Amino acid sequence: MTDTDERDRELPLFLYGTLRKGASGEDVLAKDVVRRAPARARARLLDLKAPYPGAVFGPDEGWLDGEIVWLAPARFRAALDRVDEYENVPFLFRRIVVDVETEGRTVAAWAFSYTHGSHTIR
């Protein structure tokens, strides 16, 4: 993120791994989620050989299925801080804005792109 205004945008989150409903990290966000829907984004899932997935996003990538979640506005900032910490931003992941297809439309959402230097990404 380049500036505070951008970093604080109240966008939904695109989830593709351990934060999804029914996954091991669901409780990190569960109390703050006001709505969920199936979604997909242009991304490539990486084989990290870890207990969590990583993906890189870009317009030339295939489709990655996940879910989109909207957070309670009153708790948005605190929830986002908690997720950034859980995702180890900026060491393992970087939070970026991506276009997500959901419910027949395209919306902007935060997503966590894998950035750790121990894996060759491109």
* pLDDT at position 2: 35
Q: What is the pLDDT of residues 38-62, one digit of tens each?
A: 999 999 999 888 888 999 999 999 9
**Which pair of structure tokens corresponds to residue 115?**
């950035």
The topology under which CATH files domain 4-114 is Hypothetical upf0131 protein ytfp (3.10.490)
Gyration radius of the chain over CA positions: 13
Contacts of 43 (CB under 8 A, 6+ apart): 16, 55, 56, 57, 58, 61, 62, 63, 64, 98, 111
Model-wide pTM > 0.85:
yes
Q: What is the pLDDT of residues 75-100, one digit of tens each?
A: 999 999 999 999 998 888 999 999 99
Residue 38 tokens, joined: 């199936």
